[in-house]
Amino acid sequence: MNRRRLLTALAGLGLTGGSLLAVSQGLPGGSDGLSVRVETVDAAGSEAGQLGLPVRGQPVTVVDLFATWCAPCREQMDALGAVHREYGDRAAFVSVTNERVGGTLTRADIREWWQRHDGNWTVGLDPESALMAALGADGLPYLAVVDRSGTVRWEHAGLVDADTLGDRLDRHLEA
Amino acid sequence: MRRRTYLQVAATLGAAGLAGCSASGAGNPDVVLPEPDREFDSSDLPYPAWGERLPDVTLPAPLADREVALRSVDRPQLLTFFYSHCNSVCPVLISALRNVQTHALNEGYGDEVAFHPTTFDPERDDADRLRTYGEEMNVDLAAGNWRFLRPASRGRAEEVVAEQFGVSFERTHPEEMEVYMFAHAALTLLVNADGYVERAYREKQPDPETMIADLETVRNG
């Protein structure tokens, strides 16, 4: 037992934090620029189809990574809704889940979740976690502000309040 | 060390005799996947790693009302270690496994793989709690390939999860919370039908696509 404990430390299989919403900060945004396509879902404020990220013709795209099982993601929707009301005409908003549709989770479930949490912008699917990988996201919720070239201007793991996100958007919309 | 000895033997015997079963699992006839790129041997690690046999452990599966002898599972299996009150790493681990389960069901190989997420918090993770948690996480509990495993006691959780699987966990008492939580290691294992570890994923967010690809190789191995 002691040997195992010692080896745990040596092998770097460290303990992860016990904090509530903690997700590790992801890697810094890739220098090559984000370029990912997601399937979009028919839901409030969202049409079924395909969408490239960053969204063309928009100065910035707010990317929100969520999952229907993620409790803090539900909480994040309030702040996102408030920011969307204020900035929705100047920035693209896209929420994406990496849950694979199938089994007990359907597109209708995602649509329902979206409606229940007052989502009113594009919601998409990333079943192969390509977007999560591109952003280096290591947990949920995860927010990123991406400019038109695909450069990640800001990203954050864990809950973000509306003021903080609004400040970030102001900064990049003025730049 | 053992591996080097084996390789010396293999070299002496010549490659041809062994090529059939170890073409991709070069160096170990018990596994299909090749040794991961790393600077240490499996025997140096605290957890069962590539090429090593699973601990000989039997654990209750409370939702199935039965026990699972892990070495006797006759198909590839994925194991991970979690507690349901966890809000950070565990749901990500469970979600990754759930994404693999859904891929398996969508692609028609659901009965060729087993999922055995194991709680190290048996005091709170009883059958009802595990069922609710599985439903929240969109796990298909009716598919028959997903069994939550629950050591019968706190002591048994320590014995199995920490000592046999090398996944350390310690209770914490966050100030802002009334309940206890855990600081814990993250480990997900892909085990072949013979009970040997093909891959030990140590990421807090193991990539489901990597697991799906590795699982496919193991299923076809």
Cα within 13 Å of Cα(A12), Cβ side: 7
Which residue from A31, A28, A12 is spatially nearest to A157, judged by alpha carbons? A28
The answer to whether the Cβ–Cβ distance between A14 and B172 falls below 8 Å is: no
**Residue B109 with chain A: CB contacts under 8 Å:** none
The answer to whether the Cβ–Cβ distance between A4 and B163 falls below 8 Å is: yes
Q: How many CB atoms lie within 10 A of CB B3?
A: 16
**Residue A99 with chain B: CB contacts under 8 Å:** 95, 98-99, 138
Residues 6+ away with beta carbon under 8 Å from A148: A54, A56, A58, A59, A60
**Minimum CA–CA partner of A7 in chain B:** B46
Sign of CA dihedral B69, B55, B79, B104: negative
Instruction: Point out the least confidently predicted range of A27-31, A99-103, A127-131.
Output: A27-31
User: What pLDDT does residue B26 have?
Assistant: 60
Q: Are A119 and A45 in contact, with CB atoms under 8 Å apart?
A: yes
The answer to whether the Cβ–Cβ distance between A8 and B168 falls below 8 Å is: yes
Mean pLDDT of chain A: 85
**Minimum CA–CA partner of A6 in chain B:** B46
pLDDT level of residue A127 (50, 70, 90 thresholds): very high
Please give the share of chain B, as a percent, with pLDDT higher than 90.
Answer: 80
ipTM value for the complex:
0.74
User: What pLDDT does residue B12 have?
Assistant: 36
User: What pLDDT does residue B204 have?
Assistant: 86
Residues B29-70: pLDDT tens digits?
Answer: 999 999 999 989 999 999 999 999 999 999 999 999 899 999
User: What pLDDT does residue A175 have?
Assistant: 65
Residues B99-150: pLDDT tens digits?
Answer: 999 999 999 999 999 999 999 999 999 999 999 999 999 999 999 999 999 9
- Counting one residue from A and one from B, how many pairs have CB atoms under 8 Å apart? 124
- Rounded to whole angstroms, the Cα distance separating A74 from A149 reads 30
- DSSP output for B141-189: GGGSSB--B--SSHHHHIIIIIIIS---EEEE--TT-SS-EEEE---EE
pLDDT surpasses 50 at B92: yes
| pTM reported for the whole predicted model | 0.81
Q: Are A150 and A35 in contact, with CB atoms under 8 Å apart?
A: yes
**Minimum CA–CA partner of B181 in chain A:** A18
Residues B137-192: pLDDT tens digits?
Answer: 999 999 999 999 999 999 999 999 999 999 999 999 999 889 999 999 999 999 99
The answer to whether the Cβ–Cβ distance between A21 and B186 falls below 8 Å is: no
